[in-house]
Amino acid sequence: MKRLKPLTHVHLPASYRRLRDQLAQIGWTALGSVLERKLPGQGGPRYQWTRRVEGKTVTVALSAQQFTWLKAAIANQRTVWDLLDQLNQITLDYMWKHGLGSARPIESDYP
């Protein structure tokens, strides 16, 4: 099995560096989802933000400005997840390509 170089000295593939640079450009992030409710006859739109806090679902009312800001932040968070998935895939591809995997299968208690 090949000896692993310290991770700080490994030359990163161009695709990995591009994704890392994109990740560095992400602005604010937030978890949860936002909803705009437009019910007729109830005085215009209402905005809500729902998220999990300590295992409980929490919903709060928002202003139009808060709704717009959080909508962008939540979209950024989803972009972060997508970029991280791609970075992880490149990492695994690198590991397998350069023989950094286990020389034998890992034993498992599961069939």
Domain boundaries, the chain: 20-97
Percent helix, strand, coil in the chain, to 5, is 45, 20, 40
Q: Whole-model pTM?
A: 0.75
For the beta sheet containing 56-62, the strands, ordered from the edge strand earlier in sequence to the opposite edge, are 33-37, 46-53, 56-62
What does the pLDDT look like over 92-111, one tens digit per residue?
888 888 776 566 555 555 55
pLDDT at 43: 73
Mean pLDDT over 1-28 rounds to: 81
Beta strands in 14-93 (DSSP E): 33-37, 46-53, 56-62
What does the pLDDT look like over 30-88, one tens digit per residue?
999 999 988 777 777 899 999 999 999 999 999 999 999 999 999 999 999 999 999 99
